[in-house]
Amino acid sequence: MEIKQAFETIREAATAELEKTQRAGAAYFTQGDTGRVRETADRVEQIKQMLQMLGDLQSQWRKIMPAPAPQPEHHPAPAPQPEHHPAPARVNIQRTPRGEKTPQDDFYIPILKVLVEMGGRGRTGLVIDRVGELMEGVLNDLDREIMKGRRDILWRNTAAWARNDLKNSGYLSDQSPNGIWEITAEGRSYLANRKR
């Protein structure tokens, strides 16, 4: 197993455990078991901190082990950008090798940038559309495939999971109305630090 896949496997397992623990906490709250509610809330915070550390560790790994340069590929000329959007900002992410989907964490910065661009919050579809524009040169053929048995395009589904990671890390609000993505002060700070 490659390191990148190992990070993703650990993140997925930890995120699943986080959701399971949050559900257990909600059940204890309903039962009025305040002792277990506190215990579960502490565990939720520990898992969130672990997810944050995992993200930091993966970033450090990327700095010492950068991805290999992609092989040149022939691509048709990109479709013209709609006139009502400014030209996409340059995203410093390399294209993922052919046959591999773009990792979830490659979506973090574009999602945060789009939310800042939109004034701090935006509707799911509009945010994901704009993220796709920013990542046009990053997404590969596999990312653009329709998922088997579903109508979702793979990269859009990956972006939604990336949003879940950002929410669990405190960079996106978990109090936003359904269908709205909203950046937090922590998310703005994280984005500002990554720009340096």
Say how many domains are in the chain: 2
Token pair recorded at residue 92: 């410093």
Domain extent for 137: 85-196
Residues 92 and 48 in one domain: no
Q: How confident is the model at residue 81 (pLDDT cuts 50, 70, 90)?
A: very low
Note whether residue 140 is domain-resident: yes
pLDDT of the residue at 112: 96
Using alpha carbons, select from 88, 187, 69 the residue that is nearest to residue 135: 88
Tens of pLDDT, residues 154-178:
999 999 999 999 999 999 999 999 9
Judge whether residue 74 has pLDDT over 50.
Answer: no
Q: Which helix (H) or strand (E) holds 5?
A: helix 3-31
Burial grade of 153 (CB within 10 A; 0-12, 13-18, 19 or more) = middle
Note whether residue 59 is domain-resident: yes
Q: Which residue has the higher pLDDT, 143 or 91?
A: 143
Residues 100 and 194 in one domain: yes
Q: In the 8-state DSSP scheme, what is residue 105? A: G
Note whether residue 74 is domain-resident: no
Cβ proximity of 158 and 168 under 8 Å: no
Distance CA 21, CA 15 (A): 10
Using alpha carbons, select from 120, 106, 92 the residue that is nearest to residue 188: 120
Mean pLDDT of 86-103: 56
CATH code, 93: 1.10.10.10
Q: How confident is the model at residue 73 (pLDDT cuts 50, 70, 90)?
A: very low
Judge whether residue 83 has pLDDT over 50.
Answer: no
The residue among 66, 93, 114 that closes a domain is 66
The residue among 10, 34, 66 that closes a domain is 66
Q: Which residue has the higher pLDDT, 186 or 195?
A: 186
Tens of pLDDT, residues 104-153:
889 999 999 999 999 999 999 999 999 999 999 889 888 889 887 777 88
Q: How confident is the model at residue 183 (pLDDT cuts 50, 70, 90)?
A: very high
Distance CA 101, CA 158 (A): 9
Residues 54 and 147 in one domain: no
Residues 177 and 118 in one domain: yes
Residues 44 and 1 in one domain: yes
Per the DSSP assignment, residues forming a β-bridge with 182 are 121
Residues 42 and 3 in one domain: yes
Cβ proximity of 22 and 136 under 8 Å: no
pLDDT of the residue at 47: 86
Which residues, including other chains, have CB under 8 Å from residue 60's CB and lie 6 or more apart? none
Cβ proximity of 173 and 116 under 8 Å: no
Judge whether residue 86 has pLDDT over 70.
Answer: no
Tens of pLDDT, residues 20-70:
888 888 888 888 888 888 888 888 888 888 877 877 777 677 667 665 543
Which residues, including other chains, have CB under 8 Å from residue 174's CB and lie 6 or more apart? 167
Q: What does 40-56 look like in DSSP terms, one character per residue? A: HHHHHHHHHHHHHHHHH
On whether the pTM is more than 0.95, the answer is no
pLDDT of the residue at 195: 66
Note whether residue 76 is domain-resident: no
pLDDT of the residue at 87: 34
CA dihedral 34, 167, 155, 65 (to 10 degrees): -110
